[in-house]
Amino acid sequence: MYRRIRKQLHGWMGADGSDRGACSGLDHVPEFEAHRHIRLLTFNIQVGIHTSSYRHYLTRSWQHFLPHRNRNDNLDRIAMLLRHYDVVALQECDGGSLRSGYINQVQYLAEASGLPYWRQQLNRNLGPLAQHSNGLLSRYRPLRVTEHRLPGLIPGRGAIIAKYGSEDDPLVLVMMHLSLSKSAQQRQLGFIREQIAPYQHVVLMGDMNNHADELLANTPLSDTDLIPLPASAHSFPSWRPERALDHILVSPSLEIQRAEVVSYPMSDHLPIAMDIALPKGYVETF
């Protein structure tokens, strides 16, 4: 089965030739153009650690370095949520090291949720100790997927850009995990701004470690017309949400049909979900 999967989706291998993207082997994959709306989700899964109190940052800190018997049970519960969405951005995944039992968590979640396309971006390689990664899961086959290192004083942040639909006028989805420092965020969002400049239909999604008003007013995104969720869309910490750190920002051409913070406390972040409608007439152009 593994060899057949590799052959099916050679184009989804990692940029360095590693097996970081593949197809689940499903016989039928829905055509992107057959749908007028897309269900999006972004989720920082904290490498499968279930955190429900500040004290767990201390008492469960060892789970960031060593395996835990309940980790895969937590991943299975996360997969139950993911199966209801079409494109999922994941942050703080492990790509297969000691702490995850040498399981690629992006691939595991893709297969467990039935989402046939996935991409793992390895951002911080600590060998057998940790494979710190972002992930993309998709129900639809993208036109193209690229990985990008985000600038910063401390390396280890990245973005995945996926394009769907029409080559001439694609829907561009950018999945990212930004640094904590504001100076690094400025540089990182400057890079992202350059990547999205040519496109009309854009979605930015991920853990951006800042509030939307700050991101859209005082960073290189300030000259965009991206639409955020309400400022009250708090996602962190999951047990008592007080800060809006996780976002889905969309172009005005993409109608927001529904947006919410999902009450699914399996990490120290809550997931953010959004249903968007494609522009009128856009589907027919494919």
Q: Which domain holds residue 185?
A: 2-285
Per-residue pLDDT, 269? 97
Six-digit token string for 206: 């991920």
pLDDT value, residue 282: 62
Supply the CATH number for residue 8's domain.
3.60.10.10
What is the pLDDT, as a whole number, of residue 32?
Answer: 57
Q: What is the pLDDT of residue 60?
A: 83
Confidence of residue 34 (pLDDT cuts 50, 70, 90): low
Q: Inform me whether the pLDDT recorded for 187 exceeds 70.
A: yes
Number of domains in the chain: 1
- The per-residue pLDDT for range 48-89, each reduced to its tens digit, is 999 888 878 787 887 787 778 889 999 999 999 999 999 999
Answering whether pTM is above 0.85, one says: yes
Whole-number mean pLDDT of the chain?
A: 87
Mind listing the pLDDT tens digit for each residue in 129-141?
A: 999 999 999 999 9
HEC string for the chain:
CHHHHHHHCHHHCCCCCCCCEEECCCCCCCCHHHCCEEEEEEEECHHHCCCCCCCHHHHCHHHHCCCCCCHHHHHHHHHHHHCCCCEEEEEEEECCCHHHCCCCHHHHHHHHHCCCEEEEEEEEECCCCCEEEEEEEECCCCCEEEEEECCCCCCCCEEEEEEECCCCCCEEEEEEECCCCHHHHHHHHHHHHHHHCCCCEEEEEEECCCCHHHHHHCCHHHHCCCECCCCCCCCECCCCCCECCEEEEECCCCEEEEEEECCCCCCCCCCEEEEEECCCCCHHHC
